Amino acid sequence: MNTSTTQGRQYFLDWLRILAFALLVPYHVGMYYVPWDWHVKSSEIIPALEPLMALSSPWRMGLLFLIAGAASAGLMQRGPGFVRSRSKRLLWPLLFGMLVIVPPQAYYEVVTKVAYEGSYLDFMGLYLRAYHGFCKDGHCLSLPTWNHLWFLPYLWVYSLIGWALLKAWPRLSERFSEWIEGASRWQLLIVGALPLIAARNLAPLFESTHNLSWDWYNHAQYLSLFLIGLLAARSSLWAQAQRARWPALALALIAWLAVQAYFKVYADVEPPMALRLFMRVVYGTMQWCCLMAACGFARQHLDADSAWRQPLSDGVFCVYILHQTLIVLLTRLLLPLHWPAALEGPLLIVLTLALSALGYLAVRQVPVLRLLMGVPDRRKTPDRQALAAAATMAAPRTES
């Protein structure tokens, strides 16, 4: 493997992106079994999985937005065409996904939840007409939907906001970098958590909807992380995270235990307001410390190139687009076998990853599908180059 010290580049951002997207597969398989609402549900519900799911749910998507901000900084450095590049990369897969990839999820959701008896073609007629009559307990399914592809429109809007922000204040990144340079690791962990703490206070007012126009809690956390990644791409944030990785991990684990205890004790009892406010501070701190620990350990241990990085980086976006529909379809295929979750769950993970990989291998052979599924052309790979450029712009590597 070629390390950053020999190549003058840092590769950990690519690896983090690959791992964060890959983590979506076991997470969404887990959603099939936990009590939380999802598109289809297993007959074997396992509440004991909830704490394990909560290990990644506070920070997994935030990490992707943080990395996307750094990648956007790299793309902006390449000159004009940023908006066109981002639109092509994100909006074509979104449109294709909503028309072709996502509808099977919605179809089996209405089959299992409201006992819809029509065929898939009948359903697609309703889907394309934006039918809103699939309702249960006062909640109606909005069609058409982007389901798990909500990341794409959010990232597109955040990219435009970041682009406009730096156009209006071109020295903003420099000022932010100056603060990072002068901050201690404890200042980084405490002050860096403030935007997520503030966002957490919006959670009781705005539930997570993944509706772009009314999802203010998620916008507060994900937009702030995207902008941090954008502004910090040329700073020493990554080196600071590497030095603070162990304190960040310790704080994250302590906060996670506190949050789990809080949810358990007050599952059926209203907590005091002072405690609720304090736990929002704990939760936001946990999120930020998880992110800093992930970045710090990745820079320490994954900051090297290998033959696997390029194909995995090329294919992981396609896997992201395909994986949730594959999970839903596979649950329907395995349903007649009545296997226990201990066998069925791991099989779902393996089959989803395998079929997603096969899908990527097929898609990359067809130019129009490469565009529609977000697979970069090997002859010109701006997003992979942007990640590398963003990593290169980070401060020189320091060992600790």
pLDDT in tens, 288-314: 999 999 999 999 999 999 999 999 999
Mean pLDDT of 1-27: 78
CB 128 within 8 Å of CB 144: yes
Q: Is residue 250 part of a domain?
A: yes
Of the chain, the percentage scoring pLDDT greater than 90 comes to: 88
Q: What is the token pair recorded at 343?
A: 């066998």
Q: Over range 158-169, report the average pLDDT.
A: 96
Could you give the C-alpha distances from 83 to 80, 125, 328, in angstroms and in order? 8, 33, 34
Tokens of 55: 């290990």
Beta carbons within 8 Å of 1's beta carbon, 6+ residues apart: 304, 305, 306
Residue 394 clears pLDDT 60, i.e. is over it: no
Domain membership of residue 107 (yes or no) is no
What pLDDT, on the 0 to 100 scale, is given for residue 7? 39
Query: Which residues share a beta bridge with 286?
Result: none
Of residues 233 and 393, more confidence is placed in 233
Both tokens of residue 192?
A: 């860096």
Output the pTM of the full model. Answer: 0.92
Task: Look at residue 8 in the predicted model and tell me its pLDDT.
Answer: 43
* 9: confidence class by pLDDT, cuts 50, 70, 90: low
Distance CA 225, CA 248 (A): 17
> For residue 124, is it within any domain?
no
Quote the pLDDT of residue 138: 83
**CA distance linking residue 36 with residue 52, whole number of Å:** 13
Please list, residue by residue across 361-381, b when 16 or more beta carbons sit within 10 angstroms of its beta carbon and e when fewer do: eebbeeeeebbbbbbbeeeeb
Q: Which domain holds residue 245?
A: 2-102+146-393
> Is residue 269 pLDDT above 90, yes or no?
yes
Q: pLDDT value at position 400?
A: 39
Question: Residue 109: is its pLDDT beyond 70?
Answer: yes
User: What pLDDT score does 77 carry?
Assistant: 85
Distance CA 271, CA 29 (A): 32
Residue 113 within a domain: no
Q: Please, what's the b/e burial string for 37-70 (b: 16 or more CB within 10 A of its CB; e: otherwise)? A: ebbbbbeeebeebbeeeeebebbbbbbbbbbbbb
Give me the half-sphere count of Cα atoms (radius 13 Å) on the Cβ side of residue 383. Answer: 24
Tell whether 134 is covered by a domain: no
> In terms of residues, how long is the chain?
400
pLDDT band at 165 (very low <50, low <70, confident <90, very high): very high
Burial of residue 196, with CB atoms counted within 10 A of its CB: 0-12 exposed, 13-18 middle, 19 or more buried: buried
DSSP 8-state code for residue 113: H
282 occurs within a structural domain = yes
* For residue 16, pLDDT beyond 60: yes
Sign of CA dihedral 306, 310, 315, 320: positive
- Lowest model confidence (mean pLDDT) among 83-92, 121-130, 135-144, 209-218: 135-144
Instruction: Report yes or no on 267 lying in a domain.
Output: yes
**Has residue 112 been placed in a domain?**
no
Angstrom CA distances, 218 to 84, 198, 207, stand at: 25, 12, 9
Q: Is it the case that residue 388 has pLDDT exceeding 80?
A: no
pLDDT in the model for residue 379: 59
Q: What is the mean pLDDT of the chain?
A: 92
Q: What average pLDDT does the segment 147-173 reach? A: 96
User: Band of the pLDDT at 111, cuts 50, 70, 90?
Assistant: very high
Angle (nearest 5°) at CA 218 between 163 and 319: 80
Mean pLDDT across 251-271: 95
Please state the domain count of the chain: 1
3-state secondary structure of 14: helix
**Distance between CA atoms of residues 366 and 385, nearest Å:** 22
Tokens read off for 60: 């997994």
Using a 10 angstrom Cβ sphere, with 0-12 exposed, 13-18 middle and 19 or more buried, the burial of residue 153 is: middle
Look at residue 380 and tell me whether its pLDDT is greater than 60: no
How sure is the predictor about 387, in pLDDT bands with cuts at 50, 70 and 90? low
Mean pLDDT of 233-254: 95
Going by the DSSP 8-state scheme, the letter that residue 150 receives in this structure is G
Q: How far apart are CA 324 and CA 387, in angstroms?
A: 25
Query: Which tens digits make up the pLDDT trace of 307-341?
Result: 999 999 999 999 999 999 999 999 999 999 999 99
